Amino acid sequence: MDHIRPPKIHGRGAQSARVPDRFGLGQRELDGDWRDYMESLTSLEGTPPIKLRTTVTDEFPKTIVSFNSSPDIPFDRSINAYRGCEHGCIYCFARPTHAYHDLSPGLDFETRLFAKPDAPRLLRETLARPRYRPAPIAMGTNTDPYQPIERRYRITRQVLEICLETRHPVTITTKSDRVLDDLDLLAALAQRNLVAVAISVTSLDPKLSGKLEPRAAAPAKRIAALGKLVEAGIPAHCSVAPVIPAITDEFLEEIIQAAATQGVRSAGWIALRLPHEVAPLFREWLAVHFPDRAGKVMSIVRSIRNGRDNDPDFFTRMKPSGVWADLFRARFKLACKRAGIGKARFTLDNSQFRPPSLDGQLPLF
């Protein structure tokens, strides 16, 4: 008898909740009776959707600013107000971090979230340290600071309020037009050259984006948000990220042109990365949504990562190599030239910083 494919997970990027084996964690398997019941509902018209609810747990870490000395990224400190991300981007390189909680980098990452309501207080304590030296704080480097639960928690906004109060530079990377909810703070920071915002655009096809990043803002909304940031005088950057061979690379030129029409003068691209558990999750996603080209996609991915699903090495992990990588670079460079987008660099001002007092009151002198 032919095997019946399990029903697709509706509205989510990952298609399973397997936990990683690199930590020796116990594996999860679907209950047999439940699977039989769901398969019995399968009909010629399609499979029934499986809907999962999102849960949020408050987390209370001892610190909120993470410092790093990586040679591959342009910042040395970051804040992640949330752990896990409801956007559900199947390619998200942050998925493996959920394994540290004995949770699945798959469905758990996008349905079992953690919020850090103490982030503003912890940030204030960090900035008040006598030996603290300011440099841009990056937000959105691991999980999106403007994912849906931000509308309720407003942790990102509170962090921005402290940055404005202390004149501390900050950068933001997001896939959501919800960033416009804080346009007032961003404009005030921009007037002092204290902020830059990058919005990631993966494709211009809303149906494809609905499969890749099911709960992120539609591509058209992201492009429009870039325009509103530019209009408000906020340095805006369009990040074509990630570029997925044979899936999203066809949109590279169109995205650059669309950003340029909104007045954006800075753009960049990042090739798909598949660290740790992201690789099998992405393969699973390909098997569900693009079985006809799964082999081709992974073949190109390996060709730009020195024959591996992912290159984890410092100095090379962010620099894909090979013919396909060279082709993407050439296309991106030509697209920017045609669109009139140069090599804009945002250098934020560290000199205005003034340490806060722990009671929230600034000194008079």
pLDDT of res. 31: 47
Which of 31-35, 187-191, 229-233 is the least confident region?
Answer: 31-35
Residue 21 has pLDDT above 90, yes or no: no
Residue type, 322: G
| More confident of the two residues 137 and 45 | 137
What is the band of 8 on the pLDDT scale with cuts at 50, 70, 90? low
The pLDDT tens digits for 47-90 are: 555 567 899 999 999 999 999 999 999 999 999 999 999 999 99
pLDDT of res. 102: 87
Q: Between the CA of residue 287 and those of 45, 172, 216, 246, what are the distances in Å?
A: 20, 33, 22, 14
The pLDDT tens digits for 281-314 are: 999 999 999 999 999 999 999 999 999 999 999 9
Residue 248 has pLDDT above 50, yes or no: yes
Query: How far is it, in rounded angstroms, from Cα 305 to Cα 3?
Result: 34
Closest residue by Cα to residue 145 from 197, 73, 208: 197
| More confident of the two residues 94 and 35 | 94
The pLDDT tens digits for 189-228 are: 999 999 999 999 999 999 999 999 999 999 999 999 999 9
Residue 35 has pLDDT above 50, yes or no: no
Token couple for 261: 């029409």
pLDDT of res. 19: 63
> What is the enclosing helix (H) or strand (E) of 83?
strand 82-83
Query: Is residue 332 packed enough to be buried (19+ CB in 10 Å), middle (13-18) or exposed (0-12)?
Result: buried
Query: How far is it, in rounded angstroms, from Cα 144 to Cα 87?
Result: 8
